[in-house]
Every structure is written in structure tokens, then in C-alpha cells.
Amino acid sequence: MRVALGIEYDGSAFCGWQHQPQMPTVQETLESALKSFSTVPLRTVCAGRTDTGVHATHQVVDFDSPVQRPLTAWVRGVNAYLPSTVAVRWARFVPDDFSSRFSAVERTYEYWILNDPVRSPLLASRTGWLFRPCDEAKMQEAANLLIGEHDFSSFRASECQAKTPVRLVHEVTVKRFGRMIGIRLRANAFLHHMVRNIVGSLVYVGTGRESLSWFKEVFEAKDRTLAAPTFAASGLYLVGVKYPDFPDLPTHSPTIFNFP
């Protein structure tokens, strides 16, 4: 029996999703809770491996279970063994050919920036922080250049293991909500650090440090060394994963900042 779960977590408590020796990770924490609940080891596969400090409202995992439990138990029962930083939001039975990773055709991330002259202790682990005034309209102008299928080498981490730097981006939306700037990105898949690298360069444009033509040149150069530094992990959230062949699965879970 294959089960899919929707997971929400506070990434600031973990060294990323994937198992690491002697490091707290989301995968290790979830699998420990699954074992305690089901009494057998259960190995999970996820839709997207998040880095240290990155959050999720809609991480999707799947696993094969030799024991049967009702869907409500996979939520409440597993949550009883999880810390306050991780929660199972929903559970669904899925066919044996379902893969949270390979069946997904689209993923959505949001990046949230506190644009305020003074940092916020309450939002320090929930947002990126930018003290300089920032023009979100200029950021949107630059973001529009990213739509479509392109080589994203300029926004790819040097340690990225993807076979190709080409990705199909469906949406990059930049909006201001008072002192918060929200950036939503939808694509078929993302490269390692791709979102945070894009955000860093958009911020350069928004603050007037660089121009729209600079952003275009960096993007077309396919050279990571020309782009801005990687922006902080604290503002990044995995908020959606789309599975058109499995319509019963939820596709999106909003953050506490509620991007419309």
C-alpha cells in the first residue's frame, strides 16, 4: 500500500530535508515518527529536497507501508510522534506507480522579504530582510524575462547535480504587501539554489544597485559568477506541487503571509 502525505515544517530547525550523518533533518525526523507509529521502518521519497533553513507548507512524500491504517491515523497518529516544527497536514492512498518526485509536473515556491529599515526578531527565521528601499515594479520587469524554457546556469549553484540547467518557468510574480515583498515562482522543476539566486539578482534591480539590462545580460551569459549572491534561506517556502494524473491530491498550501 502506497501512501502520500502533505508535510509542513519550519526549516530553521533542520539541516535540510535529506538524511545527513549526525545532523537534524526533516526526513530523519519524519521517518522516525513513521516508524514509531507504524512499528516498521518506512523510507520516504519527497517532491523536492529543501536546503538548510528552507521551509515548506506543501512538501509531498510517499512511502510503501506493509501495515494498514486509516487516512486519519496517518495524520493524527504520526503527528503524535513529531516535534512542533513538523506536521502531517493530509494523507491519501495512491497507486503503486505514484512518485512524489517523478509524477510531479510543477512545483511552486514563494520567497518573502521583509523590506524595512529595521530587522524584525519575530520574522528573522521566517523571511529574508532588506533594509534598503526596494521597487517591486522593477523587480517584476526583470522577473518577466525568466518566463519560458531557458538555460538557468546563471542562477545554478556550483554543486548542483541536475543533468541539465534547462527549466520551464511558468510564473514569476512580485507583489508588495505593506512592508513585505512576496515573490512566487512556478516551474516544472528547479535547480539547486535557483530560487534564492534569482531573488538575489532581482533585489539588485529593485534597490537600484543594478539595471534591467544588467539582469538580462547576466541571465543570457549562463555564468553564475556574474549574478548576485544567494539570498538567505529563511524567506523561502515550498508551497505547491502539481500532479495532474492524480487529481485527488491537494496542490497548494498557503504560507502565513497569504500570497493571493
Q: Which residues are catalytic?
A: 51
Sign of CA dihedral 80, 89, 237, 15: positive
- Cα pseudo-dihedral 78, 99, 199, 254, rounded to 10: -50
Kind and range of the H or E element at 195?
helix 194-206
Task: Confirm if 16 and 52 have CB atoms less than 8 A apart.
Answer: yes
User: Within 10 Å of residue 80's Cβ, how many Cβ atoms?
Assistant: 11
Sign of CA dihedral 14, 16, 19, 23: negative
